[in-house]
Amino acid sequence: MSDGEATPRLKGLTLLLQPHALWARVADADLSVRDLMLRYVLPFSALGPIAAAIGADRLGIEVHGAFFHPPLIKGVLAALGMWAANILIVLALAQAIKGFAGVFDADQRYRQALKLAVFASLPGWIVGVVLIAAGLWPVVAV
Separation between Cα atoms, residue 65 and residue 88, nearest integer Å: 33
Separation between Cα atoms, residue 87 and residue 81, nearest integer Å: 10
SS3 call for 39: helix
Q: What is the pTM of this model?
A: 0.76
Q: Is beta strand 61-63 parallel, antiparallel or unpaired with respect to 66-68?
A: antiparallel
List the alpha helices (DSSP H) in 29-142: 33-36, 42-45, 47-58, 72-101, 110-127, 137-141
Average pLDDT over residues 133-142: 57
Separation between Cα atoms, residue 116 and residue 114, nearest integer Å: 5
**At 79, is the pLDDT very low, low, confident or very high (cuts 50, 70, 90)?**
very high
Do 48 and 125 meet the contact criterion of CB atoms below 8 Å apart?
yes
pLDDT in tens, 25-66: 777 788 999 999 999 999 999 999 998 888 888 877 777 878
Q: Is the pLDDT of residue 138 over 60?
A: no
* Mean of all residue pLDDT scores within the chain: 82
pLDDT in tens, 50-61: 988 888 888 777
b/e sequence 58-78, b meaning 16+ C-beta within 10 Å = eeebeeeeeeeeeeeeebeeb
